[in-house]
């Protein structure tokens, strides 16, 4: 069992090179991170949330939050597996599903970028880490642009849940809460937040907080803006309220967290 593991980038991007089917596994841990599986060569038979799928050379699978997968068998497989936070790629991602994309001519270029990222992601230079994040965002965007795609696990069947999460993604920087989201959809806040919790394992308010904090973390890493300005930019009126939530999620106040990323 061999794998090339590169250290985390901003503690959100983990990149592994895997040549053992037994290492192709992810439990349903219920967090908000995505995984991208790119088959560099070979064939691997996998299962996504109980749905079988065969991935071959030039295939990539994008696995959304709360979904699980495991490798069943393979023929000389060599895979890249990247685990990342959606805020680090700044592109719209499908929620709650597993999709297989046929990369075609993009395959070799994308694998070359992933190999480069594996070599450089351990660099502690803030500029180099930012470059790694931007290159990885380009990889994800390129995968999403592939026209040949099929759903292995569909997104939540309830259109209301999808609409609520899309509103969060579109309006998180505004001064809104679950009540405003429910009002836009013509539903009672309690009904909508319970519906989202049942479908995703998290309440509507939790999704909104995590989206804001993730966006704030990117701004802390990539701008020199003050903590107060960043709090306002992601929808918080009260900077102390923002700092309290940030500390609870990431273990340090925003300013200290930022300093830790620049050393």
pLDDT digits (tens, 9 = 90+) for 126-178: 666 677 777 888 888 888 887 688 777 655 556 788 889 889 988 999 999 99
Alpha carbon distance 170, 153 (integer Å): 24
pLDDT, tens digit, for every residue of 31-79?
Answer: 567 889 999 999 999 988 778 889 999 999 988 876 788 898 988 889 9
Nearest of 16, 22, 167 to residue 79 by alpha carbon: 16
Residue 11: its pLDDT value, please? 44
Q: Are residues 178 and 247 in the same domain?
A: yes
Residue 57: its pLDDT value, please? 93
Q: Are residues 27 and 148 in the same domain?
A: yes
Q: Where are the beta strands (DSSP E) in 49-194?
A: 51-56, 59-63, 69-84, 98-102, 149-153
Task: Give burial (CB, 10 Å; 0-12/13-18/19+) of 217.
Answer: buried
For residues 209 and 9, which has the higher predicted lDDT (pLDDT)? 209
CATH number of the domain that 84 lies in? 2.60.120.280
Examine the fold and report which residue of 121, 153, 185 is the final residue of a domain before the chain moves on: 153
Question: In 201-253, which ranges are continuous DSSP H helix?
Answer: 204-222, 227-233, 239-250
The count of domains in the chain is 2
Task: Look at the chain and count its residues.
Answer: 263
Examine the fold and report which residue of 153, 174, 202 is the final residue of a domain before the chain moves on: 153
Q: Are residues 8 and 98 in the same domain?
A: yes
Range of the domain at 220: 159-261
- 58 sits in the region (left: phi over 0; alpha: psi -120 to 50; else beta) called left
Q: Crossing angle for the helix pair 254-261 and 204-222, nearest 10 degrees?
A: 50
Residue 121 confidence class, pLDDT cut points 50, 70, 90: low
Task: Quote the mean pLDDT of the chain.
Answer: 82
Residue 10: its pLDDT value, please? 43
Q: Are residues 148 and 163 in the same domain?
A: no
Q: Are residues 42 and 71 in the same domain?
A: yes
């Amino acid at each position: 069992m061999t794998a090339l593991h590169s250290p985390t980038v901003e503690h959100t991007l983990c990149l592994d090179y895997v040549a053992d089917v037994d290492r192709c596994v992810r439990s349903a841990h219920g967090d908000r991170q995505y995984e991208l599986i790119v088959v560099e060569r070979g064939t691997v038979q996998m299962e996504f949330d109980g749905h079988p799928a065969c991935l071959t050379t030039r295939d990539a699978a994008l696995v959304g939050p709360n979904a699980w997968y495991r490798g069943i068998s393979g023929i000389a497989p060599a895979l890249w597996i990247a685990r990342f936070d959606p805020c680090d790629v700044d592109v719209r991602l499908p929620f709650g599903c597993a999709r297989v994309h046929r990369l075609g001519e993009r395959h070799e270029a994308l694998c070359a970028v992933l190999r480069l990222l594996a070599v450089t992601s351990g660099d502690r230079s803030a500029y180099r880490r930012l470059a790694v994040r931007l290159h990885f965002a380009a990889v994800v965007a390129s995968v999403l642009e592939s026209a040949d795609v099929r759903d292995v696990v569909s997104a939540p069947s309830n259109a209301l849940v999808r609409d609520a999460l899309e509103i969060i993604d579109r309006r998180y920087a505004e001064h809104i809460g679950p009540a405003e989201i429910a009002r836009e959809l013509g539903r009672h806040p309690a009904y909508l937040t319970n519906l989202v919790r049942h479908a995703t394992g998290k309440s509507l308010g939790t999704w909104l907080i995590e989206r804001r904090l993730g966006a704030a973390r990117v701004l802390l890493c990539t701008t020199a803006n003050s903590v107060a300005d960043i709090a306002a930019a992601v929808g918080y009126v009260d900077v102390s309220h923002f700092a309290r939530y940030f500390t609870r999620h990431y273990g340090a106040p925003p300013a200290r967290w930022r300093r830790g990323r620049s050393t």
